[in-house]
Chains A and B, each alone.
Chain A
Amino acid sequence: MSFFRRYAQNIGALIGLAILAVVVFVALAAPILYPGSPWQGVAEPLLPPFEDPAYPLGTDLLGRDIAAGIAYGARVSLLIGIISTAVAVVIGVAIGALAGFYGGRVDDMLMRFTEFFQTIPAFAMAVVLVAIFSPNITSITLAIAVVSWPPVARLVRGEFLSLRSREFVQAAVVVGQTGPRIMATQILPNAISPIIVTASLMVATAILTESSLSFLGLGDRNMMSWGFMIGAARTMLREAWWLSVFPGLAILITVLAINLIGEGLNDAMNPHLRGRKG
């Protein structure tokens, strides 16, 4: 059965894909749907939701449209989620590949380094990194990448370790291919599916981390984000529940969708493991 057929058999994964498609659409269309800045007050303050059809999710203390904030927040969440994961995957693959392929002392040193990073509480480390390098979209993305690469490195190392003694790799050695070329063209393509599965789940974690950072006030000051909206609404919890409920639901739904996709990819790419998760 083809990969797409297998993926399509998983209803949860299809639902996840549909939800993510909506989120991506909203993120892309935000400037068209809401041409003004999401920071601009547009209606009377603290308008409850479902009352004015123009502002279905209500407005906040400064009369800003919650729906517009959520649409622009989707851009930040997806952007940071995807880029930080890409950076983490690059770091993790590089370290894991070197450790697994060369083994011995290189492996020892790189794995010590990885283990060391795993001991440090990830979120606390991200908080420190962002605060020290002043919160902006680059520092947030890099901080999330720096705390999330170790699992990728361990995974890639394991794959490389088991693949490097296979016959096709030995054949490449005999033909005279160089180490880097073997790693990139022979081993990596064979290790790609677990990397993709892990990466998809990491995007979800990165979005959660970003929202937690901006909840604490460590978000990019120029970009509306879901975590910031909830953080700002915290003191108004008693008076205006909708300020924190809707952005939170947005995070929940997006992260849930990405997790469902990740699990669907896992089942579709490793069919032999299917019965196990069942």
Chain B
Amino acid sequence: MKTLEFLIQRLVKAVIVVLGVVILNFLLIQLAPGDPASVLAGEAGAGDEQFIAQLRAQFGLDQPVYVQLWSYLQNILSGDLGYSYRNQVPVAQLIMERLPATLLLTGSAFIFSLILGVVLGVLAAYKRGSFGDSLIMTGALIFYATPLFWVALMAVLVFSIHLDLLPPFDMETIGANYTGWARVVDIAHHLVLPTVTLGLFFTAVYTRLTRASMLEVMNLDFVKTARAKGVPKGRIIRRHVLRNAILPVFTFASVQAGQLVGGAVLTETVFAWPGIGRLMFDALMQRDYPVLLGVFLVTAIVVVLVNLVTDLLYRFVDPRIETAR
């Protein structure tokens, strides 16, 4: 019963956040200098006032801002994200074509960085003060300080240009027309570099966090008790420390889920990955605002859902959270 109440409360909050993101972006776009109608008219080579006015009326840009906002919100609720100014395609369709690529990229980067980060962090804490610990922490320090796009370029330089091991761009081999299993292998092959480069920064973050959290728990009384009882060290780390130390890492990771989208803009640019990060950037540059708003709406929904799911998972994993509220 309590879980249901909690779920409803969180859902309401999630809807408010999503609405807030949409309204904020809608208003921001109004502040932008130059309106889309004149940009489009200029590109079509027709600069006369009448044509621009006609375009404005067609897109509803001649209405007052609050009317535009209201009709946009109404359309969203009925699942209509509008039409791209540029491609004359429904925005929802554009986004749905691109969303799977981004989910694949960010999802695999998230899993990659979380697993590697936790493993490295546990190793560093377990062998605290050793050469291995220093090595791991130096690596984490370096990747924490390296711009993502530069790691991507360096990876292309080494693994694609010099060693010729991995493809430097695109999601599939163009024109190969693989089907079934061969296509999966081909995509996986293309996925390696983008995933690793997007994931390395976050790996560094999770490694540091896991190590700090592990060391903190290792100082607690119940660990001393376990040690006094003669529980083997490996077992203490696995059963006693890790279980308690990993929760803050998961919390942080779920909060950070949104930041992966920002990283995806850069990764998708370098690797020509056909995802919504790139779609957003192109839409922004071309003043294709319905697409931009649509991408923000969809990412906000995904981020809010990820946070919601993690919050729910916790309540099963760690019952103490419920009593703490």
- A residues engaging B (CB < 8 A)? 116, 118-129, 131-134, 204, 208, 211-212, 215-216, 227, 230-231, 234, 237-238, 241, 244-245, 248, 251-252, 255-256, 259-260, 275-278
**Residues on A with beta carbons closer than 8 Å to the beta carbon of B149:** 212, 215, 227, 230-231
Q: Which residues of A contact B258 (CB under 8 A)?
A: 119-122
**Minimal beta-carbon separation of B152 from chain A (angstroms):** 10
Q: List 7 A-B contacts (CB under 8 A).
A: A121-B261, A124-B280, A124-B299, A237-B153, A252-B150, A256-B145, A259-B144
Interfacial residues, chain B to chain A (CB-CB below 8 A): 17, 20-21, 24-25, 28-29, 31-33, 128-129, 141-142, 144-150, 153-154, 156-157, 161, 212, 215-216, 219, 255, 258-263, 265-266, 269-270, 277, 280-281, 284-285, 292, 296, 299-300, 303-304, 307
Cα separation A227 to B146 with both chains bound (whole Å): 12
B153 x A248 contact (CB < 8 A): yes
In contact, B153 and A212 (Cβ under 8 angstroms): no
| B56 → A minimal CB distance (Å) | 19
Q: Which residue of B lies closest to A249 (CB)?
A: B150
Rounded to whole Å, the gap between the CB of A252 and the closest CB of chain B is 5
| Known A121-B303, A128-B284, A230-B153; contact A251-B262, beta-carbon cutoff 8 A | no
Cβ-neighbour of B154 out of A211, A248, A256, A260 (below 8 A): A248
Of the residues B31, B128, B146, B154, contact of A132 by C-beta under 8 Å: B31
Closest 5 CB pairs of A and B: A123-B262, A248-B150, A255-B145, A256-B145, A121-B258
Would A244 and B17 be within 8 Å (CB), given that A121-B259, A121-B261 are in contact?
no
Contacting residue for B269 out of A216, A227, A244, CB 8 A: A216
Q: How far is the CB of B200 from chain A (nearest CB, A)?
A: 13
A238 touches B161 (CB 8 A): yes
- CB <8 Å contact, B265 and A124: yes
In the complex the two chains form, what is the Cα distance from A212 to B277 in whole Å? 14
* Smallest CB separation, A249 vs chain B (Å): 9
Which of these, A131, A134, A251, A277, contacts B150 with CB under 8 Å?
Answer: A251
Query: Which residues of A have CB within 8 Å of B142?
Result: 252, 256
Hey, which chain A residues are within 8 Å of B215, CB to CB?
Answer: 276-278
A124 close to B144 (CB less than 8 A): no
CB-based contact B153/A234 at 8 Å = yes
Measured CB to CB, the nearest residue on chain B to A120 is B21
Known: A123-B259, A276-B212. A212 touches B266 (CB 8 A): yes
With A121-B259, A256-B142 already in contact, the answer to whether A244 and B150 are too (CB < 8 A) is yes
CA distance A231 to B300 in the complex (A): 28
* Complex Cα spacing A255 to B33, Å: 34
Across-interface contacts of B262 in A (CB, < 8 A): 121-127
Inter-subunit contact A278/B145 (CB<8 Å): no
Which of A119, A256, A275 contacts B300 (CB under 8 A)? A119
Q: 12 other contacts beyond A120-B258, A121-B262, A255-B146, with CB at 8 A cut-off?
A: A122-B259, A122-B262, A124-B261, A128-B28, A216-B281, A230-B147, A231-B149, A241-B157, A251-B150, A252-B145, A275-B219, A276-B212
B residues in contact with A244, CB < 8 Å: 150, 153-154, 157
Closest to A131 in B: B284
Minimum CB–CB distance from A183 to chain B (whole Å) comes to 28
- The answer to whether A216 and B161 touch across the interface, beta carbons within 8 angstroms, is no
Q: How far is the CB of B115 from chain A (nearest CB, A)?
A: 23
Contact B156 A237 (CB under 8 A): yes
Q: Which residues of B contact A277 (CB under 8 A)?
A: 212, 215
